[in-house]
Amino acid sequence: MEKTKTIFTFIAGFLSCILLVYSLSYVNLEKPLEIGGLKQVSTLSEGTSPSDVISKDQIHVYQDKIVIDIEGASLSSYAATGSMRPVFDEGHNGIRIVPKNEDQISVGDIISFKRGENLIVHRVVEKGEDENGTYFVTKGDNNLQSDGKVYFSDIKYLTVGVLY
């Protein structure tokens, strides 16, 4: 009798776990961050990733090295601000290029731009046009507020890869 009770308890627990996992897959548990009654809103679409800048034929894998052919690329390193966690943080290295025009930059891309004396590296969450031309609204992935409008003349780099 005790063995039957143990087996029944195990099966009931197992089935309960399966039902819980199944039901959670249909429920959106993610809620917008609320602080003081204000909701965080972003125009970045769910699942928006950076543009594919490096094609497969530009990547050459050898036994002792990997070569990525990117014209005009340079390496970047990042300050310990935490604004782009978990994508990158201090100690990581990035691969960047100088964009030639606004069309090379899309929502989801990570750019570096000048703001005063600082070089800020954040994700583009909106792209639009106003009386001053094409603008980009950026935001750190780990920040609550956007940086406001950034114009192409202030953009120094487009991140095309991050190395961990």
pLDDT, tens only, 32-68: 333 333 333 345 555 578 888 899 999 999 999 999 9
What's the rounded Cα separation, in Å, for the pair 157 and 128?
19
What confidence score (pLDDT) does residue 42 get? 40
Q: Residues 125, 128, 132, 134: is their CA dihedral positive or negative?
A: positive
Secondary structure class of 38 (helix, strand, coil):
strand
Tell whether the model's pLDDT for residue 13 goes beyond 60: no
Residue range 46-163, CATH number: 2.10.109.10
* pLDDT reported for residue 109: 96
Q: Looking at residues 118-125, what average pLDDT do you find?
A: 93
* 94 and 88 Cβ atoms separated by less than 8 Å: yes
CB contact burial 107-143 (16+ within 10 A = b; e otherwise): bbbbbbbeeeeeebbbbbbebeeeeeeebbbbbbbeb
Cα–Cα–Cα angle for 43, 123, 96, nearest 5°? 150
Percent share of the chain, pLDDT over 90: 52
CB 90 within 8 A of CB 79: yes
Mean pLDDT for the chain?
Answer: 79
The residue ranges of every structural domain in the chain are: 46-163
C-alpha 81/C-alpha 139 separation (Å) is 13
Answer for the pair 89, 141: CB distance below 8 angstroms, yes or no: no
Q: Which amino acid is at 44?
A: L
